[in-house]
Amino acid sequence: MSQLKRILHVEDVPSIQVITRVALEKLGGFEVLTCASAQQALAQAEAFAPDLILLDVMLPQMGGIELLHALGEHLDLARVPVVFLTGQAELDDFAELQRHGLRAVIRKPFDPLQLASRLREIWAAEHG
């Protein structure tokens, strides 16, 4: 089984960026690329070659759902699982989003101490 090593994190709120980065790099041992916008993620995703994408739904200019579709043009989302990290209560048409690469949803506020292990569980279910 291949290992989860590289995580692309797309989040526009600086405090959540920091908490997530510490949770994933310091506690989880992952390499993390944090992007503050969909445009930045699209520009850097292919070169970074993430194993998993952690994506906020509410982003300025281009939302997470639209970004999910756009990332599918640059990356093989059948191989790179996408996890939404969101405070949004409901996601419309979850089954449709799954067809485009969404594997799971983690709700905000999240437990930073559990984030790395939760992503490993999602990864293992995909690649186990």
**What residue spans define the domains of the chain?**
6-112
- What is the per-residue pLDDT for 93? 75
Calpha distance 128→34 (Å, rounded):
26
Calpha distance 27→7 (Å, rounded):
14
Average pLDDT along the chain, 128 residues, taken 10 residues at a time: 91 97 97 97 97 94 92 94 84 79 90 97 89
Please identify, in words, the CATH class of the domain defined by 6-112.
Answer: alpha beta
Task: Provide CB contacts within 8 A for 20, sequence distance 6+.
Answer: 9, 11, 32, 34, 54, 85, 112, 115
Residue 51 near residue 79 (C-beta atoms within 8 A): no
- What is the per-residue pLDDT for 126? 84
Calpha distance 118→115 (Å, rounded):
5
* pTM more than 0.75: yes
- What is the per-residue pLDDT for 100? 84
- What is the per-residue pLDDT for 89? 62
- What is the per-residue pLDDT for 49? 97
Tell me which amino acid residue 63 is.
G
Give the closest residue to 65 by CA, choosing from 89, 91, 40, 32: 91
- What is the per-residue pLDDT for 88? 72
Helix (H, G, I), strand (E, B) or coil at 55: strand
